[in-house]
Every structure is written in C-alpha cells, then in structure tokens.
Amino acid sequence: QVQLVESGGGLVQAGGSLRLSCAASGRPFSNNAMGWFRQAPGKEREFVAAISGSGFSTDYATSVKGRFTISRDTAKNTVSLQMLSLKPEDTAVYYCAAGRYFGDPTIYMRDYDYWGQGTQVTVSS
C-alpha cells in the first residue's frame, strides 16, 4: 500500500541539469522528513540531501551543496531534487526515502523507513 516512486532520471552531459521527483502513495508523507540517497556501482549508498518534516530545514552532502536543491510539495505529497552543474561523479541510482514524522533532516539510512525503487542518473564527461 505504501509506495514511493522516483522519476526524472536520465542521461545528461557534464554541466547539465536534471530534476528528480518522488511521489508517495498509500499514505501521506507531508510531515515526514524526506531524504535522497544515491548508489554508484560497486559503492555504498550515500546521503545526498534531506528536508525536515516541516519543510523549513535542509541538509546536503558536501559534494552536492550549492548544486542540488531539495524541496517538497505538501499538497502533492511529493519531494524533488533539482540537480544543477552535474558531474560524472554524480552518476548513480538515486533513491528517495521517507523518515520520521516532523523529523529533522538526517543523513543516516537507518532513520528512513520507506524507500523508492530508484532512478538512474548518468552524467557523461
């Protein structure tokens, strides 16, 4: 019943941009902390960005700060990740995740209870 579905991934050249979206169904996540993580082949899944349940606080990995922006649309029960100035090292499967009710942004995977299936982002050099 509960499902998170990412979309918006694709192939882009270095310096380009993409906007990922995560749609939630089965239950509302408007007041839950939400996060984006990514996993490249052969590497561990890593934190990318998070937003608080209130929507007023965000956190970003150092590698993406200043280039990526996380946001949410409570009315649509969605969370987005705007990615600018993409680099080849951004290539990965990107996952959205739902965390705690009115929670703070968190970088830890263990703090998220629901995960999407992922969407592929490939950045060519």
Q: Rounded CA gap, 93 and 45, in Å?
A: 9
3 — phi, psi (to 5°)?
-150, 140
Element (H, E) at 23: strand 18-25
Q: Which residue has the higher pLDDT, 1 or 68?
A: 68
Instruction: Check pLDDT > 90 for residue 27.
Output: no
Average pLDDT over residues 61-74: 96
Pick the closest to residue 49 from 27, 31, 34 (CA basis). Answer: 34
Within a 10 A sphere around the Cβ of 102, how many other Cβ atoms?
11
Please provide the average confidence, as pLDDT, over all residues in the chain: 96
